[in-house]
C-alpha cells in the first residue's frame, strides 16, 4: 500500500504535491477550528492572520490537483505551486514571529500585545475599542503541548507545505524542460 503511494508520487509529482497540500492544509485548518469552536480557545489577531495563507493555498492546491489530473499546462501548474510556496514561506515567517511574541523575544503588534492598563475615562475606552484593540492577547499562548504553542506548530507545518509546493513546482519545471 505504501509503495503504491510512492510510485504515484514518482510518476505524478504535481498531482501528489497538490493532494498533500490540500489534505495536510485542510487538516491543519480543521485542528485550529476544533480549538476555536469545540475547546473555545479564541484566536488572537495574529492567529487569524496566519490562517490567510491556508485559505489561499488550499483552494489553489485543489485547483492544481484537478489541473494535474486533467492535463493542465505545466506553466499554470508551475505558477500555482510557486504562489503556494511563497504564501507558505510568508506564513512560516509570520508564525515564527508570532511564536517569538508569545515567548516575549520581541514585541508584538500594539493592538493585541500592547499595554492594556491605561484606559482612562469611559470615552477613552470606547475610542480604544473602536480602534480595534483585541482582548485576545497575541503575546500569551492560550494553549501549549510539549511547551510549544499552536503558532509554534504552524512554523514546521507551513514550511513543510512550502517545500511540498516547491517539489510540485520543480516537477512542473522539469516536465517543461523535458517537453521542450
- Tell me what the mean pLDDT of segment 37-43 comes to: 89
1 has pLDDT over 90 = no
Q: Is the pTM of this model over 0.85?
A: no
Q: Please give the grid coordinates belonging to residue 71.
A: 492535463
Closest CA to 99 of 138, 157, 42, 44: 138
Closest CA to 28 of 81, 78, 71, 88: 88
Distance CA 32, CA 109 (A): 21
Q: Establish how many alpha carbons lie within 13 A of residue 62's alpha carbon, considering only the half-sphere containing its beta carbon.
A: 9
Residue 142: the pLDDT is 81
Q: How crowded is residue 132: how many other Cβ atoms within 10 Å of its Cβ?
A: 9
Please give the angle made by the CA atoms of 142, 120 and 129, to the nearest 5 degrees.
50
Q: Please give the grid coordinates belonging to residue 151.
A: 503558532
Model confidence at 176, in pLDDT bands (50, 70, 90)? very low
Residue 131: the pLDDT is 57
Amino acid at each position: 500500500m505504501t509503495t503504491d503511494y510512492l510510485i504515484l508520487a514518482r510518476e505524478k509529482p504535481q498531482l501528489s504535491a497538490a493532494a498533500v497540500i490540500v489534505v495536510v492544509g485542510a487538516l491543519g485548518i480543521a485542528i485550529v477550528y476544533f480549538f476555536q469552536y469545540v475547546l473555545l480557545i479564541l484566536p488572537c489577531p495574529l492567529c487569524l492572520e496566519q490562517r490567510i495563507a491556508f485559505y489561499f493555498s488550499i483552494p489553489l492546491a485543489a485547483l492544481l490537483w484537478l489541473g494535474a489530473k486533467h492535463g493542465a499546462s505545466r506553466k499554470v501548474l508551475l505558477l500555482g505551486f510557486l504562489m503556494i510556496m511563497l504564501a507558505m514561506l510568508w506564513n512560516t515567517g509570520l508564525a515564527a514571529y508570532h511564536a517569538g511574541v508569545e515567548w516575549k523575544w520581541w514585541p508584538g503588534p500594539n493592538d493585541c500585545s500592547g499595554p492594556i492598563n491605561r484606559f482612562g475615562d469611559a470615552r477613552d475606552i470606547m475610542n480604544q475599542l473602536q480602534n480595534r484593540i483585541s482582548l485576545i492577547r497575541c503575546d500569551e499562548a492560550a494553549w501549549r503541548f510539549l511547551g510549544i504553542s499552536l503558532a509554534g506548530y504552524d512554523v514546521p507545518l507551513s514550511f513543510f507545505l512550502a517545500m511540498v509546493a516547491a517539489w510540485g513546482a520543480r516537477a512542473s519545471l522539469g516536465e517543461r524542460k523535458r517537453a521542450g
